[in-house]
């Protein structure tokens, strides 16, 4: 992989930096940095601190520049915060002892996720309150706002585009068959009444917008993209654009396309066609919890994420071309005048990534992009799967019982495994869990290719490293899977048949561990494309259908495909009920069957939740940090980290005393 950037300077302007934004004042370049402690810091082009002051009552998450206009003749800088407010600042006053807030906007009911100042003097914002807003002002700076309302979950970003883009794309789509267009228009007129009565239908045939007006696109944690008019009326929406929250959307003017990134670890490019965003390109990257997207060129993007990497993606080459490790969550990226990068991170560091070389040149002109079908078969669960037990399988079938889950039992099982954000139990949506068990190089570190199952991976990893290294690593993995199952129900279960269309699951169940191991080995269970998924279904079958112990009344996998804490407790303790959870939350729980593996929570925003909750005297711990699970082995002077999602680092040491990956 070519290296285009190198970290050449690092310093800490303050604590837990959340956003960075460049602006000019008096013909000089400056950078404005917001942090989690509500401080704004101004640094110059030499990265020297010019000014620092408290601007909000909570974390500052977004900054935007308003160019001079009728309502802000000298321009202004806008800041958005987790205190639910947006503030407009006099730029000149930021360089004095008395920074002046020109206006504070308080219409949002929850944390601000994004703000952007438009060329016409309006402001766009989005929030955790499930809305985006369009702010306009009169000559007295009295604001009026239009709300774009999602049903639930955060709106991460909002973007404006000219309405004529919709018209242009519609015309180019339809002008090849004018008669058919007229016929369709007549049909649309006849169906207008029905369409208006269905809030989920797309309504761009029913809006009256001047082609020079702007329309607004919202990107939601509900995985949808929606287009609105300036009055807040929905023109159309597209569901399930990604398989996780959409964290950012950008419009690339030179290519007339849109780019989105998501917690599902994919960057996607889209062409806007009538009533649809049409998928052009999908680029996977091995990172998770995406926080920022920076456009470098029409084909190249810098992405920052929770795992501490800055990833450079080239969509013309359809691949990652560089990856720079920052070792702390990257919340913001800005480009300097010489095309180097500045990053701000959770550990309070600002890093200068100096551009040391140009990457191999991408095409100067857009290569015609094939419209790819989303290759679901590569990452989604298959519609049906059956493990054939032929004559070469040497297991004693008399020691197994085949159990089928159908009808109401299937529905009940599905609802306890996974329910999506639309409150639908669909096991075939758990694409993140359809992975093959693999080890990284010659280590005993498991490879996790997509975010989501990190809790289950961490559980298995903690068991693998608890065994003697003299035992073959594959044998340790098999033992780990079976040990968890036995802890839950005293038996061993292997999922051997799936048919989602007919709502049928089948499991082979035995009391004999050696026979269960034989079944796993001889059916090549661990190397099937869906082996992780089959293992998870088997484990949850042990809890939900064999064990008579109580369990919580919510699914073990959250609506975005991530491991719930209850699933981790189930695997480590063997049971999970409201009573057990209450005991856990009161402190260290140690009266369980296994005492080697503990669990710690670190860096939780709710400081009351940080601490050790299981087997405090253990040497191996599953760590929960900022919605991510990984494994740590405690040594005398250091801690060894096994992070399956960041497997390319291999097992690596950290200090015991002050590293945020270990310390509470």
What distance in Å separates the CA atoms of residue 319 and residue 327, rounded to the nearest whole number? Answer: 22
Mean pLDDT for 25-54 is 95
Mean pLDDT, the chain, rounded, equals: 84
Structure tokens at 269: 């490019």
From the list 418, 458, 437, 457, the residue with the least C-alpha distance to 243 is: 418
The pLDDT, as a whole number, for residue 185 is 40
What distance in Å separates the CA atoms of residue 618 and residue 378, rounded to the nearest whole number? Answer: 39
DSSP 198: -
Mean pLDDT for 535-550 is 90
Residue 408: partners with Cβ closer than 8 Å, 6 or more residues away: none
From the list 534, 284, 541, 563, the residue with the least C-alpha distance to 434 is: 534
8 Å CB contact between 215 and 230: yes
> 91-105, 163-177, 469-483, 613-627 — which is least confidently predicted?
163-177
Task: Kindly tell me if the per-residue pLDDT of 208 is higher than 80.
Answer: no
The pLDDT, as a whole number, for residue 435 is 84
Mean pLDDT for 486-515 is 93
> 61-65, 369-373, 378-382 — which is least confidently predicted?
369-373
The pLDDT, as a whole number, for residue 393 is 80
CATH class as words, domain 17-149: mainly beta
Query: Checking phi first, is residue 47 left (phi over 0); if not, alpha (psi -120 to 50) or beta?
Result: left
The pLDDT, as a whole number, for residue 193 is 33
For the domain bounded by 1-12+248-365, which CATH number is listed?
2.130.10.10
- CA distances 393 to 115, 398, 402, 515, 517, Å, are 61, 13, 16, 11, 12
From the list 301, 303, 299, 295, the residue with the least C-alpha distance to 316 is: 299
The pLDDT, as a whole number, for residue 29 is 95
Where does the chain hold its CATH 2.130.10.10 domain(s)? 1-12+248-365, 17-149
- CA distances 420 to 58, 200, 222, 435, 593, Å, are 31, 18, 10, 20, 33
More confident position, 390 or 107: 107
8 Å CB contact between 633 and 619: yes
pTM exceeds 0.75, yes or no: no
């Amino acid at each position: 992989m070519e290296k285009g950037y190198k970290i050449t300077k690092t310093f800490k302007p303050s604590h837990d930096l959340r956003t960075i934004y460049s602006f000019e004042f008096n013909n000089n370049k400056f950078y404005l940095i917001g942090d989690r402690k509500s401080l704004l810091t101004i640094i110059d082009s030499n990265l020297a601190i010019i000014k620092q002051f408290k601007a909000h009552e909570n974390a500052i998450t977004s900054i935007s520049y308003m160019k001079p206009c009728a309502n802000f003749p000298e321009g202004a800088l806008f800041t958005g915060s987790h205190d639910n407010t947006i503030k407009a600042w006099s730029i000149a006053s930021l360089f004095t002892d008395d920074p002046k807030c020109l206006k504070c906007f308080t219409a949002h009911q929850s944390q601000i996720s994004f703000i952007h100042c438009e060329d016409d003097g309006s402001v766009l914002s989005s929030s955790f309150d499930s809305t985006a807003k369009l702010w306009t002002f009169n000559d007295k700076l009295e604001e009026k706002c239009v709300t774009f309302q999602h049903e639930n979950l955060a709106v991460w970003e909002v973007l404006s585009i000219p309405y004529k883009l919709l018209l242009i794309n519609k015309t180019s789509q339809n002008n090849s068959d004018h008669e058919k267009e007229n016929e369709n228009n007549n049909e649309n007129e006849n169906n207008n009444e029905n369409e208006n009565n269905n809030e989920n239908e797309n309504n761009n045939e029913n809006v009256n917008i001047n082609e020079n007006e702007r329309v607004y696109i919202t990107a939601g944690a509900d995985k949808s993209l929606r287009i609105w008019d300036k009055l807040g009326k929905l023109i159309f929406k597209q569901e399930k654009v990604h398989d996780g929250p959409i964290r950012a959307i950008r419009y690339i003017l030179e290519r007339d396309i849109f780019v989105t990134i998501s917690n599902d670890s994919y960057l996607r490019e889209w062409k806007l066609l009538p009533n649809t965003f049409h998928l052009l390109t999908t680029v996977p990257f091995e990172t998770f919890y995406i926080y920022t997207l920076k456009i470098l060129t029409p084909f190249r993007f810098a992405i920052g994420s929770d795992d501490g990497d800055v990833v450079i993606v080239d969509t013309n080459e359809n691949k990652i071309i560089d990856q720079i490790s920052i070792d702390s969550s990257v919340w913001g990226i800005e480009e300097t005048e010489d095309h180097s990068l500045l990053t701000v991170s959770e550990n309070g560091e600002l890093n200068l990534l100096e551009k040391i070389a140009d990457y191999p040149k991408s095409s100067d002109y857009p290569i015609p992009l094939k419209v790819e079908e989303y290759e679901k078969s590569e990452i989604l669960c298959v519609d049906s799967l059956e493990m054939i037990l032929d004559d070469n399988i040497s297991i004693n079938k008399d020691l197994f019982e085949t159990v089928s889950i159908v009808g109401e039992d299937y529905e009940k099982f599905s609802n306890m495994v996974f329910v999506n954000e639309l409150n639908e139990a669909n096991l075939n949506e758990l694409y993140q869990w359809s992975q093959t068990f693999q080890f990284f190089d010659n280590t005993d570190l498991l490879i996790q290719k997509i975010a989501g199952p990190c809790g289950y991976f961490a559980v298995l990893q903690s068991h693998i490293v608890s065994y003697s290294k003299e035992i073959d690593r594959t044998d340790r993995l098999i033992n780990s899977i079976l040990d968890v199952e036995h802890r839950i129900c005293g038996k061993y279960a292997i999922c051997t048949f799936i048919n989602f269309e007919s709502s049928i699951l089948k499991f082979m169940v035995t009391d004999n561990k050696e026979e269960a191991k034989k079944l796993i080995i001889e059916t090549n269970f661990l190397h099937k494309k869906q082996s992780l998924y089959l293992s998870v279904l088997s484990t949850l079958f042990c809890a939900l259908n064999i064990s008579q112990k109580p369990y919580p009344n919510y699914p073990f996998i959250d609506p975005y495909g991530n491991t719930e804490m209850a699933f981790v407790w189930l695997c480590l303790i063997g049971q999970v009920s409201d009573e057990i959870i209450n005991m856990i939350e009161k402190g260290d729980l140690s009266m369980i069957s296994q005492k080697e593996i503990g669990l710690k929570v670190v860096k939780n925003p709710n400081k009351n939740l940080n601490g050790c909750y299981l087997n405090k005297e253990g040497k191996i711990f599953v760590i929960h940090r900022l919605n991510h699970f990984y494994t740590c082995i405690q040594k005398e002077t250091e801690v060894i980290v096994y992070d399956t999602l960041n497997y390319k680092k291999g097992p690596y040491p950290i200090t015991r005393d002050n590293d945020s990956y270990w310390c509470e």
